[in-house]
Chain A
Amino acid sequence: MELVGEEKRIQALFSEARLADEQTAPSFAGVWNRAQAKTTRPQRAFNLSFVAATALLVCALVSLAWWVKHSQPRSEAVIATVPQINKGGSLSVPQPGVEPVSEPGFKPAPQSHRVGRSRSLKLVAQRETLLVAANQKAARDAKAIASWQSPTATLLESPSDALLKSMPQLNQSGDELKSFLPTKPK
């Protein structure tokens, strides 16, 4: 590129700047070695924000697992208290102390872990207690529902309820039948 006039002056100013920069430039070896030292330095495997985020995630997962584990027996108890409808259409509430009948092909798993046996037994007992309590409550509720009466039921009662609800017989006398009829004014 051929430079003329003012461009030469601009170039001269730039050349002056370049000379000054060359004088003040840091040594290549120094900069290179510092860069090399950074590569060999063991880098921190994690930073603070990453650790905080991970800890938060772990806490969330643990609390979720805990919640799932402890909310499961309650849901089972609720399922157990739901009255089952038999084939006849009648409601049957599971009675306390009655063991659920297992299916014919069902085989219990072999208990190989003896260490956790007592703990599992405790859990089973606790669960059964909860189940029994829930069943008793369900039975009481069912009885209460069966004997429930409307508070306004007495208002619907009348003296002729017995006659209206009964069917007149063929051999009943006419007089008796007439007694039902309203008396006509003469």
Chain B
Amino acid sequence: MDIAELKAELEVLHSASFGWAMNCCRRDRAEAEEVLQTVYLKILEGKACFRGEASLKTWLFAVIRKTAIGEHRKTILRKLRWSDSAEQERTLVSPLEQPGAAFEKSETQALFQTALKSLPRRQREALHLVFYQDLSLSEAAVVMGISIGSARQHYDRGKKRLREFLGQTEIAYGTGWRGKENPGAV
């Protein structure tokens, strides 16, 4: 695929990519932006090459996921290496000053995001890919680099835990949280 053509495709997927990067970076906007930039850099340098084995979206999401994991690992190492002074400075900044703060201020969303953050990474990823990105479970499995069976298990468990958490916090979202099960969802 030509780079100009690829650029046009990436532009279409940009907002979805950013959302996925946000999920991979535990909703840290700056980190998500950095990850996305690194991904574009990889594509430009040819380190990440699309061969058409999967759809562009799943391939791009897989690259974003791997890059985010790598960046997270680097951050952990950096934190271990240096003193916690920088981290303390970072924590001094109020979360309300961040760009997404206004959105996070919504009580329902805040509780929902807390519930999502409490989930294990794989479960959170599976739910995000299915509900946020409208991907099928097989596509989600490709992005996560696991089998479809495992993806289904993560999806089911994540959904169950999310339901439990939201039930505990008694979020009044619409009517009847504890609705009927959807056995044929997948």
Pair A1/B130 contact, Cβ less than 8 Å: yes
Q: Which residues of B101-133 have CB atoms within 8 Å of chain A's CB atoms?
A: 103, 106, 108-109, 112-113, 127-128, 130-132
Q: Which residues does chain A contribute within 8 Å of B178, judged by CB atoms?
A: 6
> Chain A, 1-31, contact with B by CB distance < 8 Å: what is the 0/1 string?
1111111011111111110111111101001
What is the minimal beta-carbon distance from A1 to any residue of chain B, in angstroms? 6
Pair B45/A39 contact, Cβ less than 8 Å: yes
How long is the Cα–Cα vector from A76 to B185 in the complex, in angstroms?
88
Q: Which residues of A102-135 have CB atoms within 8 Å of chain B's CB atoms?
A: none
Instruction: Number of B interface residues at 8 Å Cβ cutoff, please give it.
Output: 47
* Total cross-chain contacts (CB, 8 A): 105
How long is the Cα–Cα vector from A34 to B45 in the complex, in angstroms?
13
| Dominant SS among interface residues on chain A | helix
Given A14-B132, A26-B18, A39-B45, also A7-B185 (CB < 8 A): yes
Given A4-B180, A5-B181, also A35-B40 (CB < 8 A): yes
Chain A residues near B (Cβ < 8 Å): 1-7, 9-18, 20-26, 28, 31-32, 34-36, 38-39
How long is the Cα–Cα vector from A75 to B9 in the complex, in angstroms?
73
Q: Which residues does chain B contribute within 8 Å of A7, judged by CB atoms?
A: 131, 159, 182, 185
- Rank and list the top 7 A-B pairs by shortest CB-CB distance, nearest first: A5-B179, A35-B40, A20-B103, A14-B131, A28-B14, A35-B41, A25-B18
